[in-house]
Amino acid sequence: MNRAGVHMDVYNANMRTNIVLSARLMRAAMRAAGTHTKRETVEYALKLVAGTPARRRAYARILAAAGTGGFASAYDVSKERRRARRLG
């Protein structure tokens, strides 16, 4: 509901806005999402982050897990690649 107490369907209401985005990031996002326009890409990303309550909860759990041991901070990619080449 908005301030006047009128229910607003936020998923079907259109909003015009201007935003400045990285061209490189937009191209990468369009490739990753398989979208053809910037608008499709932005809408796709917004739906991923804010689409449904279940998706928002899942996204919050992913963000909460940051820094909880998903990778070893002392991990050296170059060293591991050299070791893997030696082992064959």
The answer as to whether 16 is a domain residue is: no
Q: How far apart are the first and last CA of the chain?
A: 62
The answer as to whether 18 is a domain residue is: no
pLDDT in tens, the chain (88 residues): 455 555 555 556 777 888 888 999 999 999 999 999 999 999 888 888 777 788 778 778 877 877 666 656 677 778 888 888 888 6
Instruction: Determine whether 41 is exposed, middle or buried from the number of CB atoms within 10 Å of its CB (0-12, 13-18, 19+).
Output: buried
Rg (CA), the chain: 20
Model pLDDT, residue 64:
80
The answer as to whether 73 is a domain residue is: yes
The answer as to whether 56 is a domain residue is: yes
| Residues sharing a CB contact under 8 Å with residue 26, sequence separation 6 or more, in sequence order | 38, 41
The whole domain housing 80 covers 23-87
The answer as to whether 57 is a domain residue is: yes
The answer as to whether 78 is a domain residue is: yes
Model pLDDT, residue 7:
54
The answer as to whether 5 is a domain residue is: no
Q: What is this structure's pTM? A: 0.48
Give the C-alpha separation, 60 to 45, whole Å: 15
Integer angstrom CA distances of residue 36 from 12, 49, 56, 57: 21, 20, 25, 28
Q: How many domains does the chain have?
A: 1
The answer as to whether 3 is a domain residue is: no
Model pLDDT, residue 49:
76
Model pLDDT, residue 61:
81
